[in-house]
Amino acid sequence: MHWEQDLDITGSPLVVGQSVVVPTRDGLVSLHVEDGSEQWTTSETPDGGCIPVGRGLLYASENTVYLQTNCE
């Protein structure tokens, strides 16, 4: 195993570039894919908000995370 993090995960993680975005009970957590270090967290999105990720938007709705790409 390369690295591990103890999180209260509520859904499937999503890999976006060098980040692993994980839905948790407290919101979303972004971990660096190489070493598992925390890049950012947010509790602002569990009820349908969105976060810009690269050229896309990352949406969280209930226990599901969605990525919309090629946004303008």
pLDDT single digits (tens) 25-47: 888 888 998 999 999 888 865 44
Amino acid at 38: E
Q: What is the mean pLDDT of the chain?
A: 75
Give CA separation, 34 vs 25, 44, 50, 60, 71, in Å. Answer: 24, 26, 25, 24, 27
pTM, rounded to two decimals: 0.63
pLDDT of 10 > 80? The answer is yes
